[in-house]
């Protein structure tokens, strides 16, 4: 082999190549970003449109429908969802993974410009935003003080703290959550009517008198003076003295008809930290910025922020999204070191020579570090999956070096010198090294053609592992033979007896005895071929039958140290009602011993969220799931003001949402959808498998239906638009103008006093002005009735929909929930109504399809690679027998965890990754046996002898490489700490499947090799190695002809 021969002859070249690989890897590692998982989020564009005063039905027909119709024809849409609620339309378009988010946003803007002319003129302009997958805050800070009000705190934070935080490298945006100043102009409707004024008069006076326009300049021949007219009102007294109208000598000022308050713009939302009102600052990182660097950078500037702020302002971390990622990454780094130590130990125990152990040991850092270069080129990141790939690679990268080393060492024991043994020993196994490497790479090749979330996740994992193995093959064919030729010493022979070290002499009899035991067992197996194959078949069938008994889910539940408590208040509840009950919930959470801190936020829509962080893992005995389960039971007993939901944060699906099932009912009639949703909820409650099922949206929102008597309004010369504007300004809140405080601009808001808009009869207090200047009482023009309506109207792929969602009972997985609901849907659904899935449930269903496709393609690619390597369609079948046994073994061990793990493991994304890996890992053992057996057949031995000798000679390297790979995965299988729950299934599948298959395939593959060769001879008259024999003959003939041509040309020159 040219590569290995050159490395042995020129050792400096080999060392320089490896040094370059390491240097490039180190430099690349320093530039790699850190994430929790690879970026698998799709491009999501949202369109928000406000239509003040419009009901949900009007928003649906006049806003949502026309926009959806225009947007639906954009290419590459995965799904389109919308929510039409009072005064607001929100449309969310999710695109396929291959769509660029900027191109998708441009397409949406183009279609929106077409749709705009079909929308009402008086809507607020639609806002189009890109939902950046990195837009989740990485850290939230809390600012609170006993000396300053929260209004003043927000102003201080915006003026002093935000700028410093924004200078941290990698910070994308900073959002302040807290009440901003506003000039609130509260109108007394009775006094307004007494002065024969309307709200339109107030707004007109504000717009006319609160202005600031350029005033030009005064110029002389030598100097000029720019003029600045102070037309803006800034103080409360200025607005109180706002002149609304002058009647004779008397000026009616705003103070005559109301009061002015410098207060908060929004009274409806609050933020709390550990139960105390606070101002929060949410920090979002830039795309692809290093998560840990950004968070650590923000924490590092907190002391400087404290210095900038006045005394008495406290700054604390309210929520840190990096803690789990940081701890998980550290745990995986520790796992890499543990795996390396175990692999080195097993190599030493087999070789019992520190010089020989040093050779494959070098392959670990060179291969692992060299992989970072390709990761950087491909745009990968340091994340849980790429690090897991490197952990598994520790056991794999030494395999090729072990095969080369063992063969060289064996030849040296037979008397060859180091150089000769290195050259010819490497040549002898070079094909096997290349074959196993290509086979492993072929397993992961199909991920390049997958477009789903599973394919994206597996892409970085698989390519990282494949690159590490390819680098290790390069090391095995360059650095390893060079080191063997320089480091290994020939075995000393004293009086005809080989002399090794003390440990070798003591343990070698055991290895010889073990090898002879295998030879005897293999001879028994080859004499009872049918029995061996029947046992293997039974083992495989048992494994696949147990697969049907496994529960299924997307990913296992993790102890992330955070969870969310959410309160959904009754429809129609006030903001104060929501605030009181959610505050009580937060107090219950804070009494739990394991809780470190809470961040609590309330808002519109009757929802409140309490983001809870537990103390570090080492300081508590209970998992996040245990704490949240206890709180769930407590809330069920004590929270009576709404539906309290406690859920752990998840890694994938539905915006990293809570564990549970999300089913979407699709149809044409909203009332029928609500009826079906209620039936499903009732059935789910009776089943006992679901916790707190609910239907969204609620159909029971209280509403006053106002009807305008258009004929009467026309008779009294009142415009309908004036009626609508009056209602919006007085009963809602209308931003009329702005005022300046310091260097900040704030809104001026006009609204009626709360006490004058408490009941429907208060409409009689309101007046509008006719075109003739007369005041008309609003109650003379409108009538009202109380009614209940839908909270909102949802669309899913342009069809009306309702969402049935629920958490799951302990021991009930998302796969069980989907199977149950599909079965019940067949009985409950009426014609024309269907089921769809959303959130984590949809990802679970799609990931199953993607995984099966990946598995099938991995088998196909591996089969084709093996067929090309062995020039045979028979031998891939021989090797695949080991693959089947490995998968069956992995499934058996996965199922058996119910007997020795606290929580039974499931069929999930990570266990499936392990099963796909087994294809390449087990094929490696088969290749070592089959490839050497083919070599022996080429040398003239029959199939039986070739298979028997190949298995016995390769027995020790197969054991060594398999145990090294198994021990490399053991730290994953039995890991503890942050994120261990997701790593364990993958490790268990690899360890269990590879252990069982290694034992069984050492007997099955030689037996099957002999049988298939016998069948091949009977059918074709040629052995299974005929293709390789013929290739060897052609090679010899070519060399002979070439030699003759060379001699002929030489003779002619003579």
Q: What is the dihedral of CA 603, 607, 608, 610, to 10 degrees?
A: -130
From the centroid of its chain, how far is CA 244?
A: 58
Q: Which of 521-530, 768-777, 832-841 has the lowest mean pLDDT?
A: 768-777
- pLDDT at position 655: 44
Range of lowest pLDDT (339-348, 486-495, 1009-1018):
486-495
Q: Check: CB of residue 134 under 8 Å from CB of residue 283.
A: no
Q: What's the CA gap between 996 and 1003, in Å, rounded? A: 12
**pLDDT confidence of 785, banded at 50, 70, 90?**
confident
**What is the C-alpha to C-alpha distance for residues 983 and 624, in angstroms, rounded to an integer?**
17
For 431-440, 497-506, 859-868, which range has the lowest pLDDT when averaged over its residues?
497-506
Q: Cα–Cα distance between 826 and 165 in angstroms, integer?
A: 55
Residue closest to 468 by CA, chosen among 25, 960, 939: 25
Band of the pLDDT at 493, cuts 50, 70, 90?
Answer: low
Q: How far apart are CA 477 and CA 481, in angstroms?
A: 6
958-997 pLDDT, tens per residue?
888 788 888 888 888 887 777 778 888 888 888 888 888 8
Q: Does residue 998 register a pLDDT over 70?
A: yes
> How many CB atoms within 10 Å of residue 791?
21
pTM (whole model) above 0.85 = no
pLDDT attached to residue 1050: 54
User: Does 788 have pLDDT greater than 80?
Assistant: no
Best CA proximity match to 461, nearest among 443, 474, 438, 476: 443
Q: What is the rounded average pLDDT of the residues 179-187?
A: 88
What DSSP designation does 383 have?
A: -
Based on its alpha-carbon atoms, the radius of gyration of the chain, rounded to whole angstroms, reads 37
Token pair for 250:
């008397």
Label each residue of 147-200 as H, E or C: CCCHHHHHHHHHHHHHHHHHCCCCEEEEEEECCCEEEEEEECHHHHHHCCCCHH
The pLDDT tens digits for 245-269 are 888 888 899 899 889 998 888 777 8
Give the 3-state secondary structure of residue 746: strand
pLDDT in tens, 836-859: 988 888 888 877 777 777 788 888
Please report which confidence band the pLDDT of residue 450 belongs to, taking 50, 70 and 90 as the band edges: low
Of the ranges 121-130, 335-344, 891-900, 975-984, which is most confident?
Answer: 891-900
Residue 496: pLDDT band by 50, 70, 90 thresholds?
A: low
pLDDT tens, position by position, 650-692: 766 444 445 588 899 998 888 889 899 989 999 988 888 888 8
Mean pLDDT computed over 696-714: 78
pLDDT surpassing 70 at residue 288? no
The C-alpha atoms of residue 1054 and residue 568 are separated, in whole angstroms, by 101
Average pLDDT score, the chain = 82
What pLDDT does residue 656 have? 44
Q: Does 141 have pLDDT greater than 50?
A: yes
Whether 890 and 922 have beta carbons less than 8 Å apart is answered as no
d(CA 630, CA 29): 43
Query: Which residue bears the tokens 């042995």?
Result: 8
Lowest average pLDDT, out of 445-454, 478-487, 632-641, 701-710, goes to: 445-454
Kindly state the average pLDDT of the residues 727-749. 80
Give me the pLDDT at residue 1001, please.
86
Helices (H), 838-954: 839-870, 875-900, 909-938, 943-953
| Measured distance CA(825)–CA(829) in Å, rounded | 5
């Amino acid at each position: 082999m040219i590569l290995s021969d050159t490395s042995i002859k020129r050792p400096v070249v080999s060392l320089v190549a490896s040094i370059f690989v390491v240097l490039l890897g180190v430099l690349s590692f320093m530039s790699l970003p850190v994430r929790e998982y690879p970026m698998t989020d799709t491009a999501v564009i949202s369109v928000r449109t406000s239509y003040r005063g419009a009901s949900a039905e009007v928003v649906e027909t006049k806003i949502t429908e026309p926009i959806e119709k225009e947007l639906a024809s954009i290419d590459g849409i995965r799904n389109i969802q919308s929510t039409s609620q009072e005064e607001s339309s929100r449309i969310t378009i999710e695109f396929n993974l291959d769509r660029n988010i900027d191109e998708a946003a441009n397409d949406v803007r183009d279609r929106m410009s077409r749709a705009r002319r079909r929308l009402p003129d008086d809507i607020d302009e639609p806002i189009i935003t890109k939902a950046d997958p990195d837009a989740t805050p990485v850290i939230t800070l809390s600012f609170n003080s006993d000396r300053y009000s929260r209004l003043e705190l927000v102003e201080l934070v915006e003026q002093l703290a935000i700028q410093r935080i924004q200078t941290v490298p990698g910070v994308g945006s900073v959002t302040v959550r807290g009440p901003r100043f506003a000039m609130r102009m509260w109108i007394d409707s009775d006094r307004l009517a007494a002065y024969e004024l309307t709200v339109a008069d107030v707004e007109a006076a504000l717009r006319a008198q609160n202005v600031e326009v350029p005033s030009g300049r005064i110029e002389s021949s030598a100097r000029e003076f720019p003029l600045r007219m102070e037309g803006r009102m800034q103080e409360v007294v200025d607005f109180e003295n706002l002149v609304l109208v002058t009647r004779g000598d008397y000026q009616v000022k705003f103070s005559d008809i109301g009061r002015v308050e410098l207060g908060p713009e929004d009274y409806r939302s609050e933020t709390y930290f550990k139960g105390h009102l606070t101002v929060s600052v949410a920090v979002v990182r830039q795309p692809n910025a290093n998560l840990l660097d950004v968070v650590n950078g923000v924490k590092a500037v907190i002391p400087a922020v404290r210095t900038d702020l006045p005394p008495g302002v406290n700054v604390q971390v309210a929520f840190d999204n990096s803690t789990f990622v940081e701890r998980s990454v550290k745990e995986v780094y520790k796992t890499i070191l543990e795996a390396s130590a175990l692999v080195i130990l097993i190599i030493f125990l087999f070789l019992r020579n520190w010089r020989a152990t040093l050779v494959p040991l070098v392959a670990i850092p060179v291969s692992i570090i060299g992989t970072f270069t390709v990761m950087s080129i491909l745009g990968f990141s340091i994340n849980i999956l790429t690090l897991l790939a490197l952990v598994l690679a520790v056991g794999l990268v030494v395999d090729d070096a072990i095969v080369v080393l063992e063969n060289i060492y064996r030849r040296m024991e037979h008397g060859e010198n180091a150089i000769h043994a290195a050259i010819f020993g490497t040549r002898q196994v070079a094909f096997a090294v290349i074959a196993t490497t290509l086979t492993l790479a072929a397993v992961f090749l199909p991920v390049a053609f997958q477009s789903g979330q599973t394919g994206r996740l597996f892409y970085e994992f698989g390519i990282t592992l494949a690159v590490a193995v390819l680098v290790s093959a390069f090391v095995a064919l360059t650095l390893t033979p060079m080191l063997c030729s320089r480091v290994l010493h020939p075995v000393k022979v004293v009086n005809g007896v080989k002399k090794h070290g003390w440990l070798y002499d003591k343990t070698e009899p055991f290895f010889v005895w073990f090898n002879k035991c295998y030879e005897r067992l293999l001879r028994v197996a080859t004499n009872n071929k049918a029995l061996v194959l029947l046992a293997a078949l039974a083992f495989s069938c048992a494994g696949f039958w147990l697969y049907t008994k496994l529960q299924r889910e997307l990913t296992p539940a993790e102890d992330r140290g955070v969870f969310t408590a959410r309160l959904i208040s009754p429809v129609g509840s006030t903001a104060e009602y929501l605030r009181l009950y959610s505050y009580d919930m937060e107090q219950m959470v804070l009494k739990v011993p394991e809780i470190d801190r809470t961040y609590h936020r309330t808002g519109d829509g009757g929802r409140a969220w309490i983001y809870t962080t537990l103390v570090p893992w080492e300081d508590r005995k209970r998992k996040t799931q245990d704490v949240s389960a206890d709180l769930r039971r407590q809330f069920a007993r004590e929270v009576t003001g709404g539906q309290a939901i406690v859920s752990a944060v998840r890694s994938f699906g539905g915006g990293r949402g809570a564990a549970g099932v999300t089913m979407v009912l699709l149809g044409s009639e909203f009332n029928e959808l609500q009826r079906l949703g209620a039936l499903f909820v009732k059935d789910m409650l009776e089943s006992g498998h679901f916790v707190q099922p609910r239907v969204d949206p609620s159909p029971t929102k209280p509403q006053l239906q106002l009807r305008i008597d258009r004929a009467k309004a026309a008779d009294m010369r009142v415009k309908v638009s004036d009626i609508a504007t009056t209602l919006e300004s007085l009963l809602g809140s209308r931003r009329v103008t702005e005022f300046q405080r310091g260097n900040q601009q704030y809104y001026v808001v006009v609204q009626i006093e709360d006490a004058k808009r408490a009941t429907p009869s208060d409409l009689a207090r309101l007046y509008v002005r006719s075109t003739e200047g007369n005041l008309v009482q609003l109650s003379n023009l409108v009538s009202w009735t109380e009614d209940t309506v839908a909270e909102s109207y949802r669309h899913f792929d342009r069809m009306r929909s309702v969402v049935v969602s629920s958490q799951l009972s302990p021991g009930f997985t998302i796969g069980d929930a989907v199977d149950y609901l599909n079965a019940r849907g067949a009985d409950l659904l009426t014609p024309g109504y269907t089921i769809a899935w959303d959130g984590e449930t949809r990802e679970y269903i799609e990931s199953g399809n993607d995984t099966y496709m990946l598995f099938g393609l991995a088998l196909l690619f591996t089969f084709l690679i093996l067929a090309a390597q062995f020039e045979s369609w028979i031998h891939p079948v021989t090797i695949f027998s080991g693959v089947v046994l490995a998968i069956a073994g992995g499934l058996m061990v996965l199922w058996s965890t119910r007997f020795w793990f606290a929580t039974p493991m499931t069929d999930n994304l990570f266990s499936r990754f392990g099963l796909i890996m087994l294809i390449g890992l087990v094929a490696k053992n088969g290749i070592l046996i089959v490839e050497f057996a083919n070599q022996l057949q080429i040398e003239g031995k029959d199939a039986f002898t070739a298979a028997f000798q190949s298995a016995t000679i390769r027995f020790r390297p197969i054991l060594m490489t398999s145990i090294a790979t198994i021990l490399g995965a053991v730290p994953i299988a039995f890991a503890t700490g942050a994120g261990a729950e997701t790593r364990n299934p993958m490790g268990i599948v690899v360890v269990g499947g590879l252990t069982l298959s290694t034992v069984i395939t050492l007997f099955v593959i030689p037996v099957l090799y002999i049988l298939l060769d016998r069948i091949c001879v009977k059918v074709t008259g040629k052995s299974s190695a005929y293709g390789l024999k013929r290739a060897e003959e052609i090679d010899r003939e070519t060399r002979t002809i070439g030699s003759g041509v060379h001699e002929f040309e030489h003779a002619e020159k003579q």
